[in-house]
A = this chain, B = another copy of it.
Amino acid sequence: MKATIKIIGFDADDTLWVNEPNYRAIERQFFEILKPWFSEKEATNELFKTEMQNLEMYGFGAKGFMLSMIETAIRISDNKITSVEISRIIEIGKNLLNEPITLLDNVEMVLQRLQPNYKLILATKGDLLDQERKLVKSGLAKYFHHIEIMSDKKENNYRKLINRLDIQPQDFVMVGNSVKSDILPVINIGAKAIHIPYEITWLHEQHHEETDSSKFVTVNNLSEILQIL
């Protein structure tokens, strides 16, 4: 793979640092608030339903998640939730935005080793401000040329990304934890991809179809990509 690669795109959340477990922790606090009306299982389903209904309108990220929590709470409590409880939902959402960054294993060492030989970019579909803040807090900003914010991670979004970077698909490799978002659309447009599974995957990112794993590499730890790149 080494020979042709010019730019390495890194997914951020759950590839470089912990993210999904933070959302899960906030969800548990949210379910506590909803306890009088719904069981955790029902609340999980209802929240996911609201998120999916709003996804096209809100996109990905913490603010849309906060709005969907509020909407779900009002709906499933049948308007019985009070503004005090809604304030509490806003508060836990703000905590999510202010969460400290926990780097995954070996991240800094790997970036340090790759940076002299490649242009490294962060390619993420979160909210720009939020991802910039996380990058600064992570201390990793110095390794990245810039952040590419994508409204989604479908084939067309990657095509635009590669066009914007003024390279050919074969010059690009994407590294990430989501088969659906970081791997399949990338190999489908002729670029390369390295999959690093993470312990938790958001339901929306879960991939259930059979994938031809001969077309991409899977590693268990980020440090293993140094043997490939």
Contacts and interface: CB of A to CB of B under 8 A. Distances in A.
Interface of A: 57-59, 63-64, 66-67, 70-71, 73-74, 77, 79-84, 86-87, 90, 93-94, 97-98, 127-130, 132, 145-146, 149-152, 160, 163-164, 166
Contacts of A93: 67
Nearest to A97: B57
B83 A71 contact: no
B128 A151 contact: yes
A128 B90 contact: no
- Main SS of the interface on chain A? helix
A163 to B, nearest CB: 8
Copies in the complex: 2
Contact of A87 (B66, B79, B84): B79
Given A94-B57, A129-B151, A87 B63 contact: no
A76 to B, nearest CB: 11
Nearest to A166: B166
21 contacts: A58-B63, A58-B97, A58-B129, A59-B128, A59-B129, A63-B64, A66-B67, A67-B67, A67-B93, A70-B70, A77-B83, A79-B87, A81-B83, A128-B149, A129-B151, A129-B152, A132-B151, A145-B164, A146-B160, A146-B163, A166-B166
